[in-house]
Amino acid sequence: MNISSNPAAAESRASQVAFHRTELSVILSLYGRMVAAGEWRDYGISCLSDRAVFSIFRRTAENPLYRVEKHPKLRNRQGMYVLIGMDGQILKRGHDLKTVLRDLDRKLIRVVE
């Protein structure tokens, strides 16, 4: 069956949350610098019905070191971007993705030095 002819499949794709190109550019820029520094090695992207998740791994077969999540429903509250640590603790939350990722960028500076 062709997916484009299936209305249920088209509806499920429309209800998924995903990162925009500019958001991915910010995330992948940081990711690339951390890979070059030897800190990170793999990533995964999940587009779910209520959020989009960018998971960052040190090795492929382990739990993610960090997760960058986008929750559009929280746009008018705490902010739709969340940085979550390995243990599930929320490290940073905000309205601006660059501000949320700033702590990871500081860790990169310490690694390079």
* pTM (whole model) above 0.75: yes
* Confidence band, pLDDT 50/70/90 cuts, at residue 6: low
Say which residues have a Cβ less than 8 Å from residue 34's Cβ, sequence separation at least 6: 40, 56, 104, 108, 111
State how far Cα 92 lies from the chain centre.
Answer: 13
Q: Give me the numbers of helices (H) and strands (E) for the chain, helices first please.
A: 3, 5
Q: What are the sequence ranges of the domains in the chain?
A: 18-112
pLDDT in tens, 24-58: 999 999 999 888 888 888 999 989 888 899 999 98
For 77-81, what is the mean pLDDT? 86
Q: Is the pLDDT of residue 1 over 50?
A: no
pLDDT in tens, 86-99: 888 999 999 999 99
